Chains A and B, each alone.
Chain A
Amino acid sequence: MSESTNLKEVLESKLPGVELAWSEFRSQQRVIVPALQIAQALRALRDAGMDQIVDITAVDMLEYPGATDRFEVVYLLLDTQSGQRLTVKTHLNEPDLKLPSAYPIWIGADWLEREVYDMFGIVFEGHPNFKRLLLPDAFESFPLRKDYPVKGRGERHNFPIITRAES
């Protein structure tokens, strides 16, 4: 196991003048990066040794008490050599739900980004094969958004019934 790097210094030197909000909870390090600088930040972190993308996910903050932004996109990064982890978050608001794809940085981002789009409607630009992952292509809603009901819109019982003669 090699020594863990000081990621705070790395990010601050690579992104001078950018406002980064660092926090810690139960010894898990988190940083909030503005959406415009996210690609630069992720690339800098990869170059600093964070060689694995553990997960990319999003949270709809619509009903979260005290939240000001609509969506939070979360990148969980890992350094497989030292075991160091970092959570990178960025905030997005409608109608501008676009982020640069992390696929050129880690190939593991491929399906993770497609799933975030599938569930939240956040578009990742520069992804080589960008479409829905789990739901059918014709599906119109984004079910993990908070304004999508647990039961209702887009559910099977609302689909038009096709008779044998029409099929």
Chain B
Amino acid sequence: MPLDLIESPDLDAGYREGLWTLNFGPQHPATHTTLRLVLKLDGETVVEAEPDIGFLHSGFEKLAEVLDYNQYVTIVDRMNYISPMANEIAWHHAVEGLLGIDLTPRCKYIRTIFAELMRIHDHLLCTGTCVLDLGGATAFMYAFNEREKIYEICERASGQRFHTSYTRVGGLLYDVTDDWVAMVRDFCKTFPRAYRDFAGLVMKNRIFVERTRDVGVLSKADAIAGGATGPVARASGVERDLRRDEPYLAYNDLDFDVCCAQGGDCYARFQVRMMEMLESLKIIEQAIENLPSGPVFISGTGKEGLPDKTEVYRSIEGLIHHFENIMPNRQMPSPKESYYGATESPNGELGYYIVSDGDFKAYRARTRPPSVLHFSLFNRMIRGCMLSDVAAVLGSINIIAAELDR
């Protein structure tokens, strides 16, 4: 059915009645998590898709009002659990912006390395499962093999594979060790080969290309007005990347390119993600070779940063310092202001709007999840496509329901 007919508002009522309604999800392998689509079909053509979300709503934003800035990091982990550390970095980026904290160079570099590892982590899952949904199980296994190595790097630094809770206001839970550095170096060495294997299987695979090219097109105008960010916007030709446009952490010192495509279709989004993985690797290589020495916490005996654990357990001053930071009635005061801090997470602009009433916990902390805005554009992408394209489009915009519903 031609698109212009679908878009006309006075669609024949009789025609509308003859459409077939199909429930897609909430438990469907291609939805990955729990989200539901109500599809209106004309034969196999999707005329309209209405997403129904909220199955995973868990009141994270309400919890932000009772947990302090350090405690809430365990909750943001669970939003986009495909790249947990990216959420932590975004959350503490916003908190540190509110409190006016400037991090130590070592902390900035470690966070940058982790942010980029998470980008690779997220893109590997997104591209891997996108191919899996379209029937290619082998490439998926190649991607997951590499993800496992990143899990091990996370575990070495924080003691946790998945929900790392690694960042703290003004620093990191622990400093990294030399063998962590060796692990990252090793990853940088082995990843290009795995990437070649993965890309070689997929990028020119005729079945994959034909199932994704010109499918689920998002125009540049819709991408901008619809609030699309990250790889979804860049695949539609919006040249914007917060790492370059509003540099934070150590991105100012590092050399990388912003990856863009023009098509706006599923294949373009896939391509952008594939290119970004190589750029991320480039950033990690530069950052790990120039990793500054020094403390990971901001200095001073004030209430800004947590003291080192050895100090806490071995000296009374350290213990007092720790106590002053942790006890709810003695923590660092924050300005009575509102602040919006955003980072370029793997999925797009992940921001936190924090309103503070002077305590060390947020009065209100709003998450600006990229998934919500991308999924609200889903109807525009899928109209006029075939039913089998739903899985392709869902896979290409990387919807994570935990982040969508919070």
Interface status of A106 (Cβ within 8 A of chain B): yes
B368 and A76 contacting across the interface, CB-CB below 8 Å: yes
A31 CB within 8 Å of chain B: no
How far does the Cβ of A121 sit from chain B's closest Cβ, in whole Å?
15
The B-contacting residues of A in range 124-139, CB under 8 angstroms, are: 132-136
- Given A64-B363, A134-B53, the answer on whether A55 and B368 have CB atoms closer than 8 Å is yes
Cβ–Cβ contact A26 & B246, under 8 A: no
Query: How far does the alpha carbon of A57 sit from the alpha carbon of B352 in the complex, in Å?
Result: 11
B59 with A87: CB separation less than 8 A: no
A57 to B406, CA, bound (A): 14
Scan residues 46-101 of chain A and give those whose CB is less than 8 A from a CB of chain B.
Answer: 51-55, 57, 59-60, 63-65, 74, 76, 80, 83, 85, 87
With A53-B227, A64-B357, A143-B62 known as contacts, the answer to whether A134 contacts B54 (CB < 8 A) is yes
Residue in B closest to A145 when the chains form the complex, CB atoms: B62
CB of B61 within 8 A of CB of A65, answer no
| Interface hits, B190-228 → A, CB 8 Å | 222, 224-228
- Of B59, B62, B372, B406, the residue contacting A111 (CB under 8 A) is B372
Q: Does A76 contact B226, Cβ atoms closer than 8 Å?
A: no
Docked complex Cα distance between A73 and B225 (Å): 20
Contacts of A150 in B (CB 8 A): 62-63, 65-66
How many chain A residues sit at the interface, stated as a range, is: 35 or more
| Given A54-B368, A76-B353, A150-B63: A107 and B340 interface contact (C-beta under 8 Å) | no
| Residue A108 at the chain B interface, CB threshold 8 Å | yes
Interface string of A1-41 (1 = CB under 8 A from B): 10000000000000000000000011010100000000000
- Whether the pair B225, A107 counts as a contact (CB closer than 8 A) is yes
Chain A contacts of B340 at CB under 8 A? 28, 55, 76, 85, 87
Q: Does A25 lie within 8 Å of B337, measured CB to CB?
A: yes
Given A143-B59, A144-B62, residue A108 in contact with residue B338 (CB < 8 A): no
B364 touches A111 (CB 8 A): no
Q: How far is the CA of A111 from the CA of B54 in the complex (A)?
A: 12
> Measured between alpha carbons, how far is A80 from B230 in the docked complex, in Å?
12
In the bound complex, do residue B54 and residue A108 qualify as a contact, i.e. CB atoms below 8 Å apart? Answer: no
Interface centre among B335, B372, B380 (most CB of A within 10 A): B372
Query: Does B128 reach chain A (CB closer than 8 Å)?
Result: no
Taken together as a complex, chains A and B put the C-alpha atoms of A134 and B34 apart, in Å, by 12
B4 contacts partner chain A, Cβ-Cβ < 8 Å: no
A9 to chain B, nearest CB (A): 23
Whether the Cβ atoms of A65 and B336 lie closer than 8 Å is: yes
Of B59, B222, B405, the most chain A CB neighbours within 10 A belong to B59
CB of B348 to closest CB in A, whole Å: 11
CB distance from A7 to the nearest CB of B (A): 16
Does A111 contact B376, Cβ atoms closer than 8 Å?
yes
The residue on B at minimum CB distance from A74 is B353
Whether A59 touches B363, Cβ cut-off 8 Å, given contacts A53-B227, A65-B336, is: yes
Given contacts A55-B227, A106-B227, A119-B61, 17 further A-B contacts (CB under 8 A): A25-B339, A26-B100, A52-B225, A53-B227, A54-B351, A55-B366, A63-B357, A65-B357, A80-B240, A87-B340, A107-B222, A107-B226, A112-B372, A132-B54, A133-B54, A134-B54, A143-B62
7 nearest A-B residue pairs (beta carbon): A108-B227, A134-B54, A111-B376, A57-B366, A55-B368, A108-B226, A134-B57
Q: List 6 A-B contacts (CB under 8 A).
A: A25-B337, A64-B355, A108-B226, A133-B54, A135-B54, A144-B364
Interface residues of chain A, those whose CB is within 8 Å of chain B, are 1, 25-26, 28, 30, 51-55, 57, 59-60, 63-65, 74, 76, 80, 83, 85, 87, 106-108, 110-112, 115, 119, 132-136, 143-144, 150
Binding site for A on B (CB under 8 A): 53-54, 57, 59, 61-63, 65-66, 97-98, 100, 222, 224-228, 238, 240, 245-246, 335-340, 342, 349, 351, 353, 355, 357-358, 363-364, 366, 368, 372-373, 375-377, 380, 405-406
